[in-house]
Amino acid sequence: MELTFRLAVKADIPDIVRMLADDVLRGQGIGKRVFEYIINRAKEKGAYMVQLTSDKKRIDAIRFYESVGFKATP
C-alpha cells in the first residue's frame, strides 16, 4: 500500500494526496483503518477537516471514501 499524506496550505486542513493498494490487499479493511488513523490524528492535532481529491471517474474509490465519512463537494 502506498500512502502520500501532506499538510495543505492551511496547517489545520490535512490533505490526502494519494493512496494506492495492491489488488491482493483490497477488501481486508486496511485502507479503512489507515483513514481512521489519519482522521483521528488530524482531530488530535486540531484539524477541522481532512481533504482529499479524487477523479470523478474513480467510482470505486469514491464509494470507499464515502464509506469512511468523506462527502463530495461541488
Q: What is the CATH number of the domain that holds 50?
A: 3.40.630.30
In the predicted structure, residue 48 carries a pLDDT above the cut 50: yes
- Residue 54 in any domain: the answer is yes
Query: Are the C-beta atoms of residues 35 and 52 closer than 8 Å to each other?
Result: no
Name the more confident of 6 and 11: 11
- The mean pLDDT value of the chain amounts to 76
- Residue 73 in any domain: the answer is no
Domain that holds residue 7: 2-67
Our count of domains for the chain comes to 1
The overall pTM is greater than 0.85: no
- Residue 72 in any domain: the answer is no
In the predicted structure, residue 8 carries a pLDDT above the cut 70: no
- Residue 74 in any domain: the answer is no
